[in-house]
């Protein structure tokens, strides 16, 4: 029996990415100008998967509305994880809709088809033994770190304290159907069922194969990581728009004024409009229906669907959420900055600003490096914003 069905875990919010996750889960945040989850689905379909089961939870309508009943002609079934009680619990929700061996992937990280195919191929040689993708990362202690012996997993530790680890769990698993029973038998810790706890038990009782891969594996932990993700996607040319010139991808339905300049790598999505003398790029992604006014400069930034940047604005090192409008002469001069999230301070990040969905900046607004602006906040004319502006807050001069 071959592996045909993939379960994609896409129920979690990704709380460290707030305020970008106000209206959608992490898998729907933009990697350049398409949702992270779309890259995951592409990888699965490229690897021959013919049916996708998406486990959705937090803001699940946004996943269902974007992909609908099929993606690239592959049917998608949606199952709901009402409460996010861990990745094992998430997978259990799919139990009633899958049969036989199953591929399981995290829906919130960029992966490629070759990696998925490699896990499937190795698993199909011995379908009683679970297999998972293993990737080498310098920052292994941030993820689920693993140790191997003779190609088998010997330990798996979530976010280890020590930095002796170099290998991580890639979040791509192939399991025999018995995985569901194994999750059932795993004791909950703090009310949650982590898939990695089950895998740790499988290691004790038998074998778990580790499949070393070196394909694309990109993750965003904090909002500003979306800039690095976009850089990587553009560097790899993982965009679907037509390439007009080297590293310049523009959708057919976009309108770019003849006096505008696009500096690659840059991607301009469907229905975008770029006005005269605007300079967009490098390392910039414009989502669907973004409007860039005359004489605006945008560099090293991600502008999500329906964003508007009015004439004369300067936007550098910024993440701009959906349907956010930056009025004329908005200035975001760019990083580096010390960014404060809650009580934690992240020093020396290259970040101009993060503006969440539906922010309104009325005009002549400037933002200090590292500013975080919550959804539906309004920055009135002439405001200078810094630090953290909360959701729905109106800032007047």
Residues in contact with another protein by CB under 8 A are 1-2, 4, 23, 48, 50, 56, 60-61, 64-65, 67-70, 73-80, 96-100, 252-253, 255, 257, 270-271, 273, 275-276, 288-289, 291, 294, 305-306, 322-323, 357-358
Nearest-approach distance from CB 193 to another protein, in angstroms: 22
Strands 217-218 and 110-111, sheet pairing: antiparallel
Q: What angle do CA 364, 366, 371 make, to 5 degrees?
A: 150
Nearest-approach distance from CB 73 to another protein, in angstroms: 5
Of the candidates 387, 358, 357, the residue with the CA atom closest to the CA atom of residue 372: 387
Nearest-approach distance from CB 306 to another protein, in angstroms: 3
Nearest-approach distance from CB 100 to another protein, in angstroms: 6
Nearest-approach distance from CB 6 to another protein, in angstroms: 13
Report d(CA 276, CA 260) in Å as an integer: 5
* Long-range contacts, stretch 300-308, CB < 8 angstroms, 24+ apart: 300/227, 300/231, 300/334, 300/350, 301/227, 301/352, 302/30, 302/32, 302/33, 302/226, 302/227, 302/230, 304/30, 304/357, 305/30, 305/269
Of the candidates 143, 109, 145, 148, the residue with the CA atom closest to the CA atom of residue 131: 148
CB nearer another protein, residue 117 or residue 145 = 117
Nearest-approach distance from CB 252 to another protein, in angstroms: 8
CB nearer another protein, residue 48 or residue 264 = 48
CB nearer another protein, residue 209 or residue 358 = 358
CB nearer another protein, residue 59 or residue 166 = 59
Length of the chain measured in residues: 397
CB nearer another protein, residue 38 or residue 357 = 357
CB nearer another protein, residue 1 or residue 345 = 1
Q: 210: cis peptide before it, omega within 30°?
A: no
CB nearer another protein, residue 169 or residue 291 = 291
What secondary structure does DSSP assign to 321-378, as a single string? -TT-EE-TT-EE----EEEEETTEEEEEE--SEEE-TT-EE-SS-EE-TTEEE-TT-E
Report d(CA 61, CA 58) in Å as an integer: 9
Nearest-approach distance from CB 54 to another protein, in angstroms: 8
């Amino acid at each position: 029996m071959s592996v045909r069905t993939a379960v994609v875990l896409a129920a979690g919010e990704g709380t460290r990415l707030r305020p970008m996750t106000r209206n959608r889960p992490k898998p729907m945040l933009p990697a350049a100008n398409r949702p992270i989850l779309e890259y995951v689905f592409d990888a699965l379909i490229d690897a021959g998967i013919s049916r996708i089961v998406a486990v959705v939870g937090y803001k699940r309508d946004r996943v269902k509305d974007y992909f609908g009943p099929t993606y690239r002609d592959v049917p998608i079934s949606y199952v709901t994880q009402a409460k996010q009680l861990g990745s094992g619990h998430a997978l259990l929700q799919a139990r009633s809709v899958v049969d036989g061996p199953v591929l399981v992937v995290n829906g919130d990280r960029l992966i490629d088809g070759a990696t998925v195919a490699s896990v499937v191929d190795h698993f199909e040689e011995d379908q009683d033994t679970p297999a998972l993708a293993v990737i080498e990362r310098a920052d292994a202690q941030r993820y689920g770190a693993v140790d191997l012996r003779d190609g088998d997993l010997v330990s798996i530790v979530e976010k280890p304290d020590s930095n002796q680890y170099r290998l991580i769990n890639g979040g791509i698993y192939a399991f025999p159907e018995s995985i569901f029973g194994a999750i059932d038998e795993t004791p909950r810790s703090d009310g949650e069922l982590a898939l990695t706890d089950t895998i740790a038990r499988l290691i004790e009782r038998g074998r778990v194969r580790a499949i070393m891969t070196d394909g694309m594996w990109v993750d965003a932990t904090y909002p500003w990581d979306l800039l690095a993700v976009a850089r990587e996607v553009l560097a790899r040319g993982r965009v679907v728009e037509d390439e007009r010139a080297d590293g310049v991808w523009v959708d057919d339905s976009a309108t770019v004024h003849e006096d505008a300049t696009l500096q690659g790598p840059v991607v301009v999505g469907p229905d975008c409009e770029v006005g005269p003398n605007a300079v967009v790029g490098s390392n910039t992604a414009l989502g669907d229906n973004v409007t860039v006014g005359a004489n605006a400069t945008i560099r090293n930034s991600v502008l999500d669907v329906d964003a508007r940047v009015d004439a004369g604005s300067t936007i550098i090192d910024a993440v701009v959420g959906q349907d956010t409008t930056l009025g004329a002469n908005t200035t975001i001069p760019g990083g580096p900055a010390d960014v404060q999230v809650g009580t934690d301070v992240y020093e020396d990040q290259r970040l101009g600003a993060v503006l969440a969905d539906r922010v309104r900046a009325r005009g002549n607004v400037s933002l200090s490096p590292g500013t975080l602006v919550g959804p539906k906040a309004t920055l009135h004319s002439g405001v200078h914003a810094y630090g953290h502006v909360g959701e729905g807050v109106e800032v007047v001069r």
